[in-house]
Amino acid sequence: MKQYFVYILASQRHGTLYTGSTSDLKKRIWQHKNNIIPGFTAKYRVHRLVYYEEHSSLVEMVRRERRIKNWCRKWKLNLIEEFNPTWKDLYEEVCS
């Protein structure tokens, strides 16, 4: 069964945020960390995976990503703080 993810990257604790989505979280975060994907995350060094959630359908994933992208910054920070209070880079967790 295909998995879909919405994720948030941060440059540092309470730093620059980026919200994205993918069907291969491990690969996509590796691409961000290695600046394979040109643009915002490479330019602003937004490489720390601080939040992610899994969805069972592409439609759910896209809907949730759009919703989060439209949130104010404070709501995104609250979401991250509830899920990952220490702002630990969750990439290693995803890889295991």
CATH architecture of the domain with residue range 4-95: 3-Layer(aba) Sandwich (3.40)
Distances (CA, A) of 22 to 28, 29, 85: 7, 9, 24
Residue 30: pLDDT band with limits 50, 70, 90: very high
pLDDT score recorded for residue 55: 97
pLDDT score recorded for residue 1: 79
Residue 87 has pLDDT above 90, yes or no: yes
pTM of the model: 0.96
Distance CA 8, CA 91 (A): 11
Q: What is the pLDDT of residues 41-80, one digit of tens each?
A: 999 999 999 999 999 999 999 999 999 999 999 999 999 9
In the chain, where the domains are located: 4-95
Residue 37 has pLDDT above 90, yes or no: no
